[in-house]
Amino acid sequence: MSAADPAAIAGWEAHPPRMGFFTDTSVCIGCKACEVACKEWNNVPEDGLAWLGLSYDNTGSLGASTWRHVAFIEQPQAGQDHGIRWLMSSDVCKHCTSAACLEVCPTGSLIRTEFGTVVVQQDICNGCGYCVSACPFGVIDRREEDGRVWKCTLCYDRLKDDLTPACAKACPTESIQFGPLLELRTRAEQRVDSLQAQGETGARLYGADPSDGVGGTGAFFLLLDDPEVYGLPPKPASTTRDLPSMWKSAAMAALSLTAGVAAAFLGRRR
């Protein structure tokens, strides 16, 4: 059992291969078909009618009512007067290998599915918000109407029926690709090599490295620039990574305190 098999670690003895998303931003056209398909299939409330004044980005960021968010980034085109390069990326929950949100949930609302994805069970979510602050990507959010948290489920109900998630199904350019995670990583590496050979030197993968701070992600990206340009942390890390050492230190401190109190009590009796 390896860290790359989170379903097995979660107790799924017999399970399908880990499934995920590979989002190739180099072919995203910003059509927002993924946002619409996600909302329609999952009955996610409308939240993008307000004009934010941020290019064509009408949703702003991921949230409880935006499970897919298409970011529009305008950059001056190098070597061209008044030239603009558009970078577009459909962001989503990363379904981390080391999922801090799941680890801090006190009710068991957040679970690891047999597909290796992370899902919120709204019927037992108490709205404590621990997962909101634990997520290193700022993905999870609470709805003001009921206080519970919501996020992408990678269309868990569709996966159980052997169907493609709604966003990937609707993507007209195959910017969002769905399948077994290991196969997607191989395909993504080949795509990066192809783009770099064509002169796109900034092409790189984000979230595909199992040795990163979250153990690699179940939804990873091909980017054409630094992660910060897309609003992604350059070096994501699990917010619970220091918990084992903290608990060990706390236990040692408690033992030392207990020993000190016992010694003082015995000394007084003598």
Q: Give the contacts of 157 (CB within 8 A, at least 6 positions apart).
A: none
The answer to whether 48 and 35 are in contact (CB under 8 A) is yes
Closest by CA to 16, choosing from 161, 120, 122, 119, is 161
Q: From CA 69, how far away is CA 264, in angstroms rounded? A: 61
Q: pTM of this prediction?
A: 0.84
Distance between CA 118 and CA 93 in Å, rounded? 9
CA–CA separation, 202 and 241 (whole Å): 30
Task: For the chain, give the number of residues.
Answer: 270
Residues lower than pLDDT 70 in the chain: 1-3, 48-55, 78-82, 241-270
State the amino acid at position 228 in one-letter form: E
pLDDT at 108: 95
Residue 239: the pLDDT is 87
Per-residue model confidence as pLDDT tens digits over 178-222: 999 999 999 999 999 999 999 999 999 999 999 999 999 999 999
In whole angstroms, what is the distance from residue 131 CA to residue 238 CA? 12
pLDDT at position 222 is 98
* Dist CA 248 CA 270 (whole Å): 33
Residues of the chain by 3-state class (helix, strand, coil), percent to 5: 35, 20, 50
CA distances from residue 218 to 12, 19, 92, 93, 158 in whole angstroms, order as listed: 17, 7, 10, 9, 17
pLDDT digits (tens, 9 = 90+) for 9-35: 999 999 999 999 999 999 999 999 999
The letter for the amino acid at 91 is: D
Residue 249's pLDDT is 39
pLDDT at 203: 97
| Rg of the chain over all Cα atoms, to the nearest angstrom | 22
Q: Specify the pLDDT at position 52.
A: 66
Q: What is the DSSP letter of 16?
A: P
CATH of 6-239, one of 3.30.230.10, 3.30.70.20, 1.10.645.10, 3.40.50.1370: 3.30.70.20
Cα distance between residue 260 and residue 129, in whole Å: 37
